[in-house]
């Protein structure tokens, strides 16, 4: 993935190249363009100038919307567990995520056992526990498990999620390691990423410029 070019008043002089399998943390406050950067990486915010490329395809070129659509299908964003379905249990939520994932992104043998293993890694002994009964921290852990189950090409995380303490944070770290090797993982946070998190690069967005 490559982002290059200025983006209005918030983001300027963008030049970001993310390779498959890279794990990157970007320290960025919302006032410095952190939210806009996250929207760009999701493919939801059009560039005013410059270009965004993925696997050699220009996602911002007029008439190439199918490339952008394909890219979006491979992106998973952890949003504090808000993507979970309250009307079902943990296992059903995981299976639902797989059912509607693009076939190329699904696990080779998606079944209840594998889903249960991932959810178990997230710290849930009872995979039939109702989603509506989860605490805020547990929803975050279940949300990360769902991201891992989807086997995305690009995994994005909002950094405030790392403010979890103790056992919750340990489960999130374990799930971070379970992302597929080919996936590019980007953590956008207003605070420095935890030192215990294994990363390839740590960047900072300063007044709209990556340093």
pLDDT at 80: 62
pLDDT at 202: 92
Of 47, 50, 210, 56, the residue nearest 201 (C-alpha): 210
Instruction: Express each pLDDT in 58-114 by its tens digit.
Output: 887 777 788 888 888 888 887 766 668 888 888 888 877 766 555 544 555 456 677
Residue at token pair 């998973």 = 76
Domains of the chain from N-terminus onward: 2-210 (3.40.50.300)
pLDDT at 9: 54
Task: Identify the H or E element spanning 77.
Answer: strand 75-78
Could you tell me the pTM of the whole model? 0.79
pLDDT at 200: 93
In contact, 175 and 9? CB cutoff 8 Å: no
Phi, psi of 144 (to 5 degrees): -65, -40
pLDDT at 105: 45
pLDDT at 24: 92
Distance from CA of residue 210 to its chain's centroid? 19
* Gap between the Cα atoms of 98 and 45, Å rounded: 26
- The series of mean pLDDT values per 10 residues for the chain, 211 residues long, is 55 79 87 79 76 81 79 81 78 75 50 79 86 86 85 82 70 82 88 80 83 81
In this structure, how many other beta carbons lie within 10 angstroms of the beta carbon of residue 30? 13
* Gap between the Cα atoms of 121 and 48, Å rounded: 42
């Amino acid at each position: 993935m490559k982002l290059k070019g200025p983006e209005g008043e918030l983001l300027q002089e963008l030049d970001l190249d993310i390779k498959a399998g890279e794990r990157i943390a970007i320290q960025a406050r919302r006032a410095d363009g952190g939210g806009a950067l996250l929207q760009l990486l999701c493919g939801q915010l059009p560039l005013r100038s410059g270009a965004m490329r993925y696997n050699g395809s220009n996602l911002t070129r007029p008439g190439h919307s199918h490339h952008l659509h394909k890219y979006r299908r491979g992106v998973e964003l952890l949003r504090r567990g808000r993507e979970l379905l309250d009307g079902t249990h943990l296992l059903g939520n995981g299976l639902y995520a797989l059912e509607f994932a693009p076939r190329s992104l699904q696990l080779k043998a998606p079944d209840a056992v594998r889903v249960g293993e991932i959810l178990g890694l997230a710290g849930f002994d009872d995979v039939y526990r109702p989603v509506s009964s989860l605490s805020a921290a547990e929803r975050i852990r279940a949300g990360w498990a769902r991201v891992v189950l989807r086997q995305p090409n690009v995994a994005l995380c909002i950094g405030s999620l790392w403010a979890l303490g103790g056992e919750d944070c340990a489960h999130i770290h374990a799930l971070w390691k379970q992302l597929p090797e080919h996936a590019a993982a980007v953590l956008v946070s207003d605070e420095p990423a935890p030192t215990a998190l294994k990363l390839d690069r740590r960047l900072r967005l300063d007044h709209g410029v990556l340093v």
